[in-house]
């Protein structure tokens, strides 16, 4: 059973999401909150939450700051943001703060449920349209447009550099395995090695690191 904490300042949206998501037999909505600080307080009180489904724009404590607070104190938590195309200025910040991915608010409920399961399994989830815009949203000063071989200096093998580029494209371990004709276990091992060599925390940071160092793959 996947425990989910829903964070949104709109009571109607909170309850609607709770009803829709709770219909899945693999998911239990353990609590709802109106902003990031309230969500953190619930976690501090002992509320279980494998995945935090959080709106990006909220008063008091928005999703960007809420992600930072939660991931700093609970680094194993998975934060899945609900956003719109108008939230571009917030997207990179939340990813850098440790968000596991994004979903657009206008997608069908079954896609939200699948997204929760995807990030729960340790994969990064970014809507394809947002993934394509991600490089452009990074400040030019942060981004070095160069050849992927620049990653050689970090000790990454050609195979690891290739997998890092696919992670930056938003592919899951399963999708990478299918693309490269590898087992999913082998891909997981590669990801673990990449994290160790780059001294990063999770797949999202791999994506940000790759896009900053290389740009589009």
Residue 35 to residue 81: CA distance in whole angstroms:
13
Same-domain check for residues 17 and 77: yes
Residue 91 shares a structural domain with residue 180: no
Q: Where in the sequence is the domain holding 145, given as residue range(s)?
A: 138-213
First to last CA, the chain: 36
Number of domains in the chain: 2
What is the per-residue pLDDT for 47?
95
Where does a domain end: 85, 111, 136? 136
**Residue 101 has what pLDDT?**
85
* 89 and 117 co-located in one domain: yes
108 and 155 housed in the same domain: no
| Model confidence at 40: pLDDT above 90 | yes
Identify the pLDDT of residue 135. Answer: 56
Do 124 and 159 reside in the same domain of the chain? no
Q: Are residues 114 and 150 in the same domain?
A: no
Q: What is the pLDDT of residues 18-34, one digit of tens each?
A: 999 989 999 999 999 99
Nearest to 37 by CA among 63, 11, 15: 63
On whether both 118 and 167 belong to a single domain, the answer is no
- For 83-137, how does the pLDDT look when each residue is reduced to its tens digit (9 = 90+)? 876 667 787 788 878 888 888 888 888 889 999 998 898 877 776 666 656 655 5
**Does 106 share its domain with 153?**
no
Going by C-alpha positions, the residue among 210, 133, 119 that lies closest to residue 172 is 119
Residue that terminates a domain, selected from 136, 164, 182: 136
pLDDT for position 149: 62
Specify whether 202 is located in the same domain as 108: no
Q: What is the pLDDT of residue 108?
A: 86
60 shares a domain with 22:
yes
Structure tokens at 79: 């934060």
- pLDDT at position 143: 46
> What per-residue confidence (pLDDT) applies to 91?
78
**Average pLDDT of the residues of the chain:** 84
> Taking the complete model, does pTM exceed 0.75, yes or no?
no
pLDDT on residue 168: 81
CATH number at residue 152: 1.10.10.10
- What CA–CA distance (Å, rounded) separates 36 from 27? 21
pLDDT tens per residue, range 140-174: 444 444 455 667 788 888 899 889 988 887 788 88
Place of tokens 């949104």: 8
Instruction: Report which of 13, 7, 205 is spatially closest to residue 100, judged by C-alpha positions.
Output: 205
Together in a domain, 146 and 107:
no
Same domain, 152 and 118: no
Q: Which of the listed residues 120, 136, 152 is the one where a domain comes to its end? A: 136
């Amino acid at each position: 059973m996947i425990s989910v904490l829903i964070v949104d300042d709109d009571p109607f949206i909170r309850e609607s999401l709770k009803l829709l998501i709770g219909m899945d037999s693999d998911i239990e909505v353990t609590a709802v909150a109106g902003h990031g600080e309230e969500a953190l307080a619930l976690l501090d009180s002992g509320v279980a939450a494998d995945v935090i489904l959080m709106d990006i724009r909220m008063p008091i404590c928005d999703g960007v700051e809420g992600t930072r607070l939660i991931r700093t104190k609970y680094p194993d938590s998975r934060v899945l943001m609900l956003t719109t195309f108008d939230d571009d200025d917030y997207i990179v910040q939340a990813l850098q703060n440790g968000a596991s991915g994004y979903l657009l608010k206008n997608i069908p409920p079954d896609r939200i449920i699948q997204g929760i399961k995807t990030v729960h399994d340790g994969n990064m989830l970014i809507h394809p349209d947002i993934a394509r815009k991600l490089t452009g949203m990074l400040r030019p000063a942060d981004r070095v447009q160069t050849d992927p071989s620049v990653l050689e200096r970090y000790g990454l093998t050609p195979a690891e550099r290739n997998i890092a580029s696919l992670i930056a494209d938003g592919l899951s371990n399963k999708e990478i395995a299918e693309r490269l004709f590898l087992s999913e276990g082998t891909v997981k091992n590669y990801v673990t090695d990449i994290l160790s060599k780059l001294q990063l925390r999770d797949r999202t940071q791999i994506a940000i690191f790759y896009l900053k160092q290389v740009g589009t793959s």
